[in-house]
């Protein structure tokens, strides 16, 4: 069953965490059962869901290191609408520790085997690097969502991400596919943003989501209140954009799965 998606781009600050948290919330709003996995040692997705990183016993670190079962790390925060496998800075150590372990690229996939069928969608927030953690996310996933901020250097680095995806596909996970590239923090008044957007469509055509996430201050404020934007300000442009993305995402999935 293919229902795991990595939200990745090795550039920092492009909207990975914002997209993971808010797409999870929007899919849940559509009645789907969703798990969000925080695989970035910075733990922004964890705190963005109102969880205290210092208060976590079992995290994605223990899962990756096979010290805890996935089911024993998953939390259902009250009122959030979806489940969370949180993380904290312990996960930083996993990068190094994984290097000495057998099947190191398959740890997350193996750990999720018994959990994945409980969910309609599992979304993984990746760190800003093409590290062993990101590779674990790619090996576990059916699809990849790539948030892209349409600015001058947006396309730089994209080719090494695509190469990594291709390599994982050939060596470890033949079903892996790019689900879509997502334009984030978009400002339609900005000429450069429009230019980069056109380049993306020329290059990737229908791999670019029609839904566009605008720059919206409510999206930036919501995490400091520990909630997705839907809970923070339902009527905001950010909420509406992520609901539209969720709807498009589900349609694409249906199509991809026949």
Residue numbers at the binding site for Mg ion (CB under 5 A) = 16-17, 44
Residues 6+ away with beta carbon under 8 Å from 1 = 116, 117
How many CB atoms neighbour CB 210 within 10 A?
10
Half-sphere exposure for 256 (CA within 13 Å, toward CB)? 20
To which residue do tokens 């954009």 refer? 241
Q: How far is the CB of 13 from Mg ion (least distance, A)?
A: 8
Restricted to residues 116-155, the positions that interact with ligand ADP (CB under 6 A) are 128
Query: What track of x and - describes contact with ligand ADP for positions 21 through 50 (by CB under 6 A)?
Result: -----------------------x------
Q: How far is the CB of 53 from ligand ADP (least distance, A)?
A: 15
Rg of the chain on CA atoms, in Å: 17
Q: Does 184 bind ligand ADP (CB under 6 A)?
A: yes
Q: Does 13 bind ligand ADP (CB under 6 A)?
A: yes
Q: Does 237 bind ligand ADP (CB under 6 A)?
A: no
Q: How far is the CB of 183 from ligand ADP (least distance, A)?
A: 10
Is-contact 138 176, C-beta < 8 A?
yes
Q: Site for ligand ADP (CB under 6 A): how many residues?
A: 17
Q: How far is the CB of 72 from ligand ADP (least distance, A)?
A: 26
| Closest alpha carbon to 71 in 19, 31, 119, 132 | 119
To which residue do tokens 């990737």 refer? 204
Restricted to residues 82-111, the positions that interact with ligand ADP (CB under 6 A) are none
Q: Which does 58 bind (CB under 5 to 8 A by kind): ligand ADP, Mg ion, none?
A: none
To which residue do tokens 């590290």 refer? 131
């Amino acid at each position: 069953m293919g229902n795991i998606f990595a939200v990745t781009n090795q550039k920092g600050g492009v909207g990975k965490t914002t997209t993971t948290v808010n797409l999870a919330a929007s899919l849940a709003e559509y009645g789907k059962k969703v798990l969000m996995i925080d695989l970035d040692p910075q733990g922004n997705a964890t705190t963005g869901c109102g969880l205290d990183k210092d208060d976590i016993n079992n995290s994605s670190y223990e899962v990756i290191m096979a010290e805890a079962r996935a089911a024993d790390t998953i939390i259902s925060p009250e009122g959030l609408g979806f489940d969370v496998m949180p993380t904290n800075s312990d996960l930083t150590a996993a990068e190094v520790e994984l290097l000495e372990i057998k099947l190191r690229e398959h740890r997350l996939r193996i750990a999720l085997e018994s959990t994945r069928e409980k969910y309609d969608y599992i979304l993984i927030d990746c760190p800003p690097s093409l590290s062993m953690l990101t590779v674990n996310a790619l090996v576990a996933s059916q699809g990849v969502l790539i948030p892209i901020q349409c600015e001058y250097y947006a396309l730089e680095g994209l080719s090494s991400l695509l190469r990594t995806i291709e390599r994982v596909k050939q060596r470890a996970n033949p079903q892996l596919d790019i689900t879509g590239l997502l334009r984030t923090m978009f400002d339609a008044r900005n000429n450069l943003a429009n230019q980069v957007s056109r380049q993306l469509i020329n290059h990737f055509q229908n791999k670019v989501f029609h839904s566009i996430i605008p720059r919206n201050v409510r999206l930036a404020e919501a995490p400091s209140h520990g909630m997705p934007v839907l809970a923070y300000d339902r009527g905001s442009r950010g909420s509406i954009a992520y609901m539209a993305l969720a709807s498009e995402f589900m349609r694409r999935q249906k199509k991809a799965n026949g």
